[in-house]
Amino acid sequence: MEDVSTVSSAAPSPSPSAGAPTARRAAYDCDVLVVGGGIVGLSTAYALTRARPGTRVVVLEKEDGPARHQTGRNSGVIHSGVYYRPGSLKARFAVRGAAEMVKFCAEYGIAHRVTGKLIVATERAELPRLHALVQRGRENGIPVRELGPAQIAEYEPHVNGLAAIHVATTGVCDYGAVAAELVRLVEAAGAEMRHGAEVTAVDRRPGVGVAVRTAAGAVVRARAMVNCAGLHCDRVARLAGDAPPVRIVPFRGEYHELVPERGRLVRGLVYPVPDPAFPFLGVHLTRGIDGSVHIGPNAVPALAREGYRWRTARARDLAGTLGWPGFWHIARRHWRYGAGEMRRSLSKAAFTEAVRRLLPEVEAADLRPAPAGVRAQAVGRDGSLVDDFLITQAPHTVHVLNAPSPAATASLPIGREVARRALAALDAAR
């Protein structure tokens, strides 16, 4: 990777007439530079252009289009916020974001449905956790209805369960279409999208600003930088000279889908009761906006940050994971859980067995592979899995260091919060 010092000659520098507003603006290519063209970066750019019209915004995305990673590879669920600790960013932003996402989709003609979902207990040991979710949902202001087996059958005739809760505010949408609409809106507001622009070096000078070099050799000078780089956010933070307290450890989420003739087995969205020790929700059933039924994901360590297949491995990414003490703490603490996930990844029979807990009629022949996703999970040095959105600040920079699910649902409120911090950084630098 190019050394950060190679940008120094291109960094913004104060001119003799820096006190004049026009001279100060002329020293920069933009006011705020957003790194990352996923839904969080795009929502941040959208919020910036709405909160302070005239703010010059540039978005750098290393791929040739937006939403190519976490945004475009999830199951499309608009989460209600029922799972998340009351008062946390996830809880507040998911509840608010779900309502705003539905409104956004309706306003701009984006396909969506508010279907509700079931969270189903299939074993007696899960009942206390299910009841805890009822309480948590109510604390978060979410309408939750408790169901017995007969009532489960009214919603999902083919689903097995001892008890369940129905969460009315959950839905589905096309997040790729949401991202495309955000691109249209930010460009209409005067922001600039640059695709194929991978950040390779950052030079930050306190009291001056930030200069970023891309792989193509272009340099962009900004008064402030927002890091929404998702799977690579910790690397961008280190390029800026910061020492993030976490490392991104990539987990691949593998999906199957029901063959079309068996799609009738699932009407809407069905989830298991999650294990509170993990930020993963377990293998669930999702009828998407296109009518197909996705089943998954499991969660296995990926051998590359963009490792969507087992055979995709990158030495640098793997070394980064193995060299982080937190990964080994996770491995020692949760090896049984990990072994089960690996077994379901390598054995279709084992995956089918897991699905049959919720959907007893399903057979291995009913399932076919679907595209996988990779979750950018922030892990602390002590092995803690960061369970809330993590946003940090440094001079001239704002870093979004943990924004996995439900970040797509919560993207509009996240974008406003990040934009607020970025504008405060601009004001402080004046």
**Per mean pLDDT, which range of 120-124, 129-133, 273-277 is the poorest?**
273-277
Taking only the tens place, the pLDDT of each residue in 218-231 is 999 999 999 999 99
Q: What is the mean pLDDT of the chain?
A: 92
Residue 288 is encoded by which pair of tokens?
Answer: 């998407």
Extract the tokens encoding 162.
């001892």
Helical ranges in 34-88 per DSSP H: 39-51
3-state secondary structure of 121: strand
pLDDT given at position 279: 61
Is the model's pLDDT at 16 over the cut of 50? no
Pairing of strands 246-258, 77-78: unpaired
Residue 245: per-residue pLDDT: 96
Location of structure tokens 């990539």:
250
Instruction: Report pLDDT for 3.
Output: 37
* Average pLDDT, integer, range 265-274: 95
When pLDDT is averaged across residues 31-36 and rounded to a whole number, the result is 98
Q: What is the pLDDT of residue 24?
A: 47
Q: What would the mean pLDDT of 213-241 be, rounded to a whole number?
A: 98
Please report which confidence band the pLDDT of residue 262 belongs to, taking 50, 70 and 90 as the band edges: very high
pLDDT of 63 > 90? The answer is yes
Q: What is the pLDDT of residue 396?
A: 97
pLDDT computed for residue 2 by the predictor: 34
pLDDT(17) > 50: no
Q: Tell me which of 232-241, 380-389, 420-429 is least confident.
A: 420-429
* In the chain, % of residues over pLDDT 90: 87
Which residue reads 């060299």 in tokens?
Answer: 323
The residue length of the chain stands at: 430
DSSP 126: G
3-state DSSP assignment of residue 14: coil
Q: How far apart are CA 221 and CA 228, in angstroms?
A: 17
Q: What is the pTM for the complete model shown?
A: 0.92
Q: Please give the share of the chain, as a percent, with pLDDT higher than 70.
A: 93
Mean pLDDT of 7-33: 53
Whether residue 258 has pLDDT greater than 90:
yes
| Contact present, 307 and 250 (Cβ < 8 Å) | yes
- Rounded CA-CA distance 46/9 in Å is 31
The dihedral built from the CA positions of residue 358, 362, 364 and 370, taken in this order, carries a sign that is negative
What is the predicted pLDDT for the residue at 11?
Answer: 40
Token pair belonging to 388: 């809330």
Distance CA 155, CA 158 (A): 9
The string over 144-169, giving b where at least 16 C-beta atoms fall within 10 Å of a residue's C-beta and e elsewhere, is beebeeeebeebbebbbbebbbbbeb
Give the torsion sign (CA, 302, 288, 233, 276): negative
State the CB neighbour count (10 A cutoff) for residue 291.
8
Task: Return the pLDDT at 18.
Answer: 34
- What is the rounded distance in angstroms from the CA atom of residue 194 to the CA atom of residue 18? 28
Whole-number Cα distances in Å, 205 to 3, 58, 85, 98: 16, 19, 38, 38
pLDDT band at 13 (very low <50, low <70, confident <90, very high): very low
pLDDT at 21 over 60: no
3-state secondary structure at position 212: strand
